[in-house]
Structure formats: C-alpha cells, structure tokens
Amino acid sequence: MAALVNGNEIILTGTVGDLYWDDSFTSADVIFALAQVGREQDITIRLNSAGGVATEGAAIHSAIAAHKGRKVIVVEGIAASAASVIAMAGDEVVMSLGSLMMVHDPSGFTFGPITEHELSIRMLQALATSMAGIYAEKTGKTVAEARADMQAEVWMTPEEAVAAGYADRTLARAANDDAAPEPTAFDYRLFQHPPERLVALADQRAWTKRARPTAAAPAVPPRQKEKPMANEPVGGEPAPKTNTTDSGLSRADASTIAKLCVDGGVPTMAATLLSEGVTVAEAKERVGAAGKINEMVASAHRKDPKIPKDLAATMLSEGKTVEQARAVLLDKLCANEEAAPTSSHVPPADDGAKPTAPKVDLVADMKRRHGGKA
C-alpha cells in the first residue's frame, strides 16, 4: 500500500489502482487514509504517480473532493494520466520544482465481437467526457478545450501547468534541497509523446523491463496474476506489501465497501465504515438503510418543500436508523400540516360546479409509502 499517513499529510506514490506492481494505491487506500486524518482536518497530499486505472483515479478524486478540510495537493515528480485527475481535487495544486503534469485521453483494450468493441468505445467516450469536465472545472477552460488538451497528450512543466490553470502555483526549492523529486517508476515509452528525459530515466532505471498499463479502465478486466507467497525479507529487501488495512480489513473487502458506498450514492459514508472496520455484510446493510433514508426524504420533500433536501445527510451524520428517520419526517410533516392555513382545506362545491380535488393527507401517505400505519 503506497498511501502513507504522516500526521495531516498523505503521501501517494506509484500506480493508481492495484495492478500487482511494486507500488500502487487504490480508492479504498485513500478513503482509509482520509479517515485516519479526520474528516474535518486540513490535509496536504504529496502525489507522485504516472497514472494507472482511470476509474480508480476518478473515485480517488471524488473521495478527496468530498473531504471537508482544506486540501493542498503537491505534485512531486509527476502527476500524469489518472494521477492528474486526482490532482484536480485539491483546493490548491502546487507543482514542485522539476515536476511534470500530463493529461490525455483514457485508453483500454477489448477482446471479442464487434458489439464488445462498440461498448468499449462508448465507455471510453463517456469516461473522456467525465475527465474533461473535471479538468475544465479546475482550469476554467471549456469542456471542449480540456478535451483538446487530452487528445493532444499535453505534458506541462510547473510553470506551464500554472499558466494553463491545471495548477495554482509552483513550489520554490528549499535552501537545503539539492535535487528535485524523481518521477515514480514507470515505463514512460507507453505514452504517445513522453519527454525524452523520462524515457532515458526509465531506461537507466530499467523501468522499461516491466510492462505497465498506460491509462484508464480496460473494458475487459485483465487476467489476474497469482500472487506469490510472502517470504520473510532478507538482507536489504523491503518487506512485502500486506493485503490488509490498519483496521484489519482485507484490501479486497475495503475496496468492496468503498464501491458499495459510491454505488449507493453515499461516497462520504465509506470513511466511517472503513474506520469502524465493519464487514462487507454490515456495510451492505448500512448503505441500504442510507438509501432508504435518502428515498424517504426525497419523497417527503416532493410532497412538502418545507422538508429540507439535505435532511437525509444530516440524519445520516447523526447515525439515525431508518425508523428514527421515519419518525423525524412524520413529526415534521405533522407540524407542517397543523401550521397550514385554513384556506388550504377543500371549499364547499358551488351548485353545478365540480368539487375541488381533495387535499392529500401527507402524513397518511408517508406512512403508507414507508410501512407505517395510517
């Protein structure tokens, strides 16, 4: 796991997404790291990544953007491809001296009949449009302008990234800092227009001997490699990566819980569940309950606009159960019903006139829809 927490600082290095390379970090790793820091705390994220799986990059961007504290993202070495999407989540994006940023179109591979390739094209088009929207929001460009940068595979120095709006400022070198951070290990020949110095560095460090993915989400999942058994480290070798988080959850379970929250429309709930170390089954139950509360509040708001749209988020943050949330909504509906002016009641029908449609009993309708007794 290459998502390290040091006080209010999170360090992200290596490939975006768990692709069995030496260093990588996933959305579950980042969500757990944010939970360790604390949802309200200001954070600094030091990022050095050549990218990886674009959908993981998008999920990490969402997790960081949802963090309530101020977020400063410092690009150390490189933020390319999916990693540049992550960088856009910062309230302030800072480029270290000698660092690089790169934006490009997502890519993938497909094996199968024409229908599979057509599906892959639609997926990549949707993903590219989504990424362009993220870049446009940060830079002030139009979505079309951001997409043009992506299609050209634009590489930027710190000054160029600031000028183009992808970063906010450059970081001056400290007096005792003799060298700029080295970009993370990656086979940079896999990109279309990589700077020559990166290709030379990859050759020098023998990074080109490792076949690494370039970009985004493969339309067909690659065959998973069998993980070797972990041996005790010898000599100066680093200890093998563990497959569990600090809370005891396996990385697979943590990733599943994070996905459940995103799919259930409650991505910010993931940090709480991971920090508590709940099981996947418990997470499913709680995400399902959150979905019911969201549905009840939406239904109540449609019938009575005085019910706040964000009431669901408030009740979820307070840890209310479905039954407790239902009781709160019924109380509010009853109070609003009693406060309604008498003119809202059905007037007597005039001779020969059609009677006015009866007023809906909000309380009875709410109970009928959500299992209570009218």
The secondary structure element, H or E, covering residue 197 is: helix 196-204
For position 160, what pLDDT does the model report?
94
What pLDDT score does 41 carry? 92
The CA distance from 72 to 175, in Å, is 22
**pTM strictly above 0.95:** no
CA–CA gap between residue 367 and residue 205 (Å, rounded): 67
User: What is the reported pLDDT for 229?
Assistant: 33
Looking at residue 239, its pLDDT comes to 41
pLDDT of res. 123: 87
Q: In this structure, what is the dihedral angle of CA atoms 337, 339, 344, 347, given to the nearest 10 degrees?
A: 90
pLDDT, block means (10 residues), the chain with 374 residues: 83 83 81 88 93 89 92 93 94 93 87 86 89 93 93 93 95 63 76 81 70 39 35 38 52 71 70 75 87 86 84 81 86 72 47 50 56 50
CA atoms of 192 and 175, how far apart (whole Å):
36
User: Given this model, what pLDDT does residue 180 score?
Assistant: 66
Tokens read off for 69: 């504290």
Q: Tell me what pLDDT residue 351 has.
A: 52
CA separation for the pair 95, 77 (Å, rounded): 9
Cβ-proximal residues to 127 (8 Å cutoff; 6+ apart), any chain: 54, 55, 58, 106, 216, 217
Sketch the domain layout of the chain as residue ranges: 3-218, 244-340+356-369
Architecture of domain 3-218: Alpha-Beta Complex (3.90)
